[in-house]
Amino acid sequence: MKKTDPGRLRAGGRFGRQAEAERNDLLVLNAARAVFAEQGANAPVADIAARADVGIGTLYRRYGSKEQLLQHLCAIGIAQTIADLEAALEAEGNGWETLARYMAAAVDARAGAFAGLAGTFSLPEEVSAANEQARRLAEQLLRRGHDDGTVREDVTTLDITHLVEMFSRYPRRTEQDDHARRRMLTLTLDGLRTAGTELPGPQPDWADYQRSWDASEHPA
């Protein structure tokens, strides 16, 4: 009896459709990060669909509204961040090296590009829980640098978050833009090392940051 190729079954069956949906999700996620980084919180969904090369009708059939789309993008985005943090915690190297590699990868993926949307839509409970998990993992990664003395003691996890968000919004219209971003990121990462200039002001507060994502704190 001729054996059936399991790959063909997967491609034509439910698993294949799921895989295609996941690929489309990543295309839309990357497109949305780029569009929001370039245009800000009021970027139209049509521009996201065009950047991802999918029909806008397809997006609305799948998500129903811009808010549902953003909620879903935040969910898969934070899942990606958690996976990247877990990989960084398992990687070899001193505390600063592993933190710097994670941050460079996060910036390259524009992981903080949705920060400008904070408070403009509600976050599902599972996304809020995932955000908390990511925060704990980031604290572990930073603590490694504090413990081995390679990262300055006054750097906080929220400082790291703000840096990723800031560089995620850096424009990348030309090769020169990307080169400049990488230079500025390298300079910034070097500033996380010990024996740097004392940071001004009080340490940032996580409670204040979490409130910025609470849509109820930002009435229309």
If you write DSSP's letter for every residue of 27-54 in order, what string do you get? HHHHHHHHHHHHH-TT--HHHHHHHHT-
Q: Is residue 141 part of a domain?
A: yes
Q: How many C-beta neighbours within 10 Å does residue 82 have?
A: 17
- What residue numbers bound the domain in which 67 lies? 6-217
Q: Is residue 91 part of a domain?
A: yes
pLDDT at residue 1, as a whole number: 43
pLDDT at residue 84, as a whole number: 96
Q: How many domains does the chain fold into? A: 1
Q: Which residues contact 95 (CB under 8 A, 6 or more apart)?
A: 141, 142, 143, 144, 145, 146, 147, 148, 150, 151
Q: Is residue 89 part of a domain?
A: yes
CA distance 111 to 104: 10
- What is the domain-level CATH number for residue 96? 1.10.357.10
Q: Is residue 111 part of a domain?
A: yes
Q: Is residue 174 part of a domain?
A: yes
Q: Is residue 82 part of a domain?
A: yes
pLDDT at residue 131, as a whole number: 94
CA distance 141 to 123: 25
Q: pLDDT means per 10 residues in the chain (220 residues)?
A: 41 64 83 84 89 87 84 90 97 96 93 86 92 97 97 95 90 79 90 79 82 74
* Beta-ladder partners of 193: 151
The terminus-to-terminus CA distance of the chain in angstroms comes to 66
Burial class of 36 by CB neighbour count within 10 A (0 to 12, 13 to 18, 19+):
buried
Dihedral of CA 10/14/20/23: which sign?
A: negative
- The amino acid sitting at 187 is L
- The amino acid sitting at 31 is A
pLDDT at residue 167, as a whole number: 92
The answer to whether the pTM exceeds 0.85 is: no
